[in-house]
Amino acid sequence: MIDKDQGPLDNRCLTDAQFTELPKFYRGKVRDAYHLPDGRQVMIATDRQSAFDKVLAAVPYKGQVLNQTARFWFEATKDICPNHVLSYPDPNVVIARHLQMMPIEMIVRDYMTGSTETSIWTMYQRGERVLYGHKFADGLVKNQKLPETILTPTTKGERDAPITAAEIVAEGLLTQEQWDAVAEISFRLFARGREIAAKNGLILVDTKYEFGFDPDGRIIVADELHTPDSSRYWKQASYAERLSATQEPEGLDKEFLRLWVRERCDPYKDPIPDIPEETLEKFSQKYIALYEAVTGQSFEYAESGALVRDRVRANLAQALPEYFN
């Protein structure tokens, strides 16, 4: 990986991907999206960094890393579950099928860890021993491997909330048949991710999946897949030694920034302090390192001095000329 001088931080960050030429704009914490009348969805991964249910900063190349990492994983898992992808007109953009999204997120976990309000370690530290319907013994330590892989679903909203499989069915969010199917797919996707990560010296610690239904009722995996925003990765080589020394594992994901914020404030109650540019640059390199480790491909930087927004707009105009006359 060669990191050349790319100019000012602001020039390398895509924070706003709203283009008035495209219809039905929707802004998420990280992605800007458009619902086209023909059933397609344009999803643009910006460089906005989200954690603790809020946007914290902008990280150079983060959107490109997310989109291209997801592309790698969608391709590597298409035999397990069909995905929403139609095309990739730009490194930050995917054009996908519009789906009826499930109202839950599927989180699969292999380790006792986390720093958010919905993480099993946060809940375990509070003294809770039944988490998401799973019973846990006393005496577990942070970052240790769980006896078995577990599912810990959450609701979707401004603040994600824990929910059990029984509650999902009882509340009519999914039928029992739908839950069983999506749970099986989630475990299979995670097993594939764990296998590929291990071959590249990484531990896939946990991840979040989002699914939807197509018009025929088929389950489709959507949004993103095994990216450093939706997943936690650790370096395999140093994990055991650092666990024994009660040190945090070497991570290649957004836990780095979560921990930085946690050390300085309660992110759910206090204002988030300004994050130094040096820290954001370090975070950017962690994302790029993960992309290269997982895919075995070199990260391709955009042309020096080119504004990401201008490139994205030009590529969208080429892919969707009917909107950019």
Express each pLDDT in 172-206 by its tens digit.
Answer: 999 999 999 999 999 999 999 999 999 999 999 99
CA distances from 89 to 93, 271, 316 (A): 6, 38, 7
Q: What is the SS3 assignment for 266?
A: coil
Looking at per-residue pLDDT, the higher value among 10 and 288 belongs to 288
The fraction of the chain above a pLDDT of 90, given in percent, is: 76
Which tokens is 91 given? 């490194």
Q: What is the CA radius of gyration of the chain?
A: 20
What's the pLDDT tens digit per position in 100-134?
Answer: 999 999 999 999 999 888 899 999 999 999 999 99
pLDDT above 60 for 1: no
Averaged confidence pLDDT in the chain = 92
Relative orientation angle of helices 62-76 and 176-199, to the nearest 10 degrees? 110
pLDDT above 90 for 303: no
DSSP 80-107: TS-B-EEEEEETTEEEEE--EE-SEEEE
Domain boundaries along the sequence of the chain? 9-319
pTM of the model as a whole: 0.90
CATH code, 9-319 = 3.30.470.20
> Which pLDDT band holds residue 283 (cuts at 50, 70, 90)?
confident
Give me the pLDDT at residue 183, please: 99
- Give the residue from 101, 5, 86 showing the smallest Cα distance to 38: 86
Which of 36-40, 135-139, 149-153, 251-255 has the weakest average pLDDT?
A: 251-255
Give me the pLDDT at residue 11, please: 67
Give me the pLDDT at residue 6, please: 57
- Residue 125: CB atoms within 10 Å: 11
pLDDT above 60 for 82: yes
Give me the pLDDT at residue 290, please: 87
pLDDT above 50 for 282: yes
Q: Quick one: average pLDDT of 15-38? A: 96
Q: Quick one: average pLDDT of 296-321? A: 87
Give me the pLDDT at residue 147, please: 95
